[in-house]
Amino acid sequence: MFSPVLALLAAVQLALAAVALRGPRPGAWTALLGCALAYDSAVVAAGTVLGPGALLQALSTGRYVLHALLTPLVVPCAAMLLRGGRAVVAGAWGTACVLAAAGAWATLPGLDLVPRRWADTLRYADAEPGGVPVAAVAAMLLLLGAGVVLWRRRRVPWVAAGAVAVFAASAAAVAVPPLGNAGEALMLAGLVAALREGRARAGSVVAQE
């Protein structure tokens, strides 16, 4: 049941990435993040088909690498959605680099993946998780903060809603792991919705001129 749903979720995330790619800044970076999230969902969806072994373990290692390095992209994406100046965007990129380095340092050295089954899904997960993923949580908190500002300034609630969805889904994923993927999909949808709304408003301004 859950494996086909995750496969569908991966397809939705890829479609959102394609929509983001056609959008204004930061469309390309949002699309890259969307592809990483789709990869994660697709690997878990394929787990029962591939079965435990070296291939699924290698693909699962890629999940951890992409999460550590690309999740912080939400920070500069949010800064660009806010139309921050060069200094703000540069600071956001610097923060993202620090968070990516911290996430990789906390997650990847000594990563010991073991097969874990839940319902009809099979995934490789860290045998000894390092506790709260501080870098990822910090990135989501910054996304939430930017989303609240975007909501107040431009009445665009989607980024804040997506960030809240990630936190809620991550908490629920302790009991139902696929909900984590669903929360990430909602976060991506929020970013893409904000991109599309920004493009629509820009087009409206041009038309009025």
Model-level pTM?
A: 0.91
**pLDDT tens column, 121-142:** 999 999 887 667 899 999 999 9
Asked whether residue 157 carries a pLDDT value surpassing 70, the answer given is yes
- For residue 1, give Cα distances in angstroms to 4, 7, 118, 176: 6, 11, 11, 13
Any idea where the domains of the chain sit in the sequence?
Answer: 2-208
The whole-angstrom separation of Cα 97 and Cα 72 is 7
72, 74, 80, 85 alpha-carbon torsion, rounded to 10°: -40
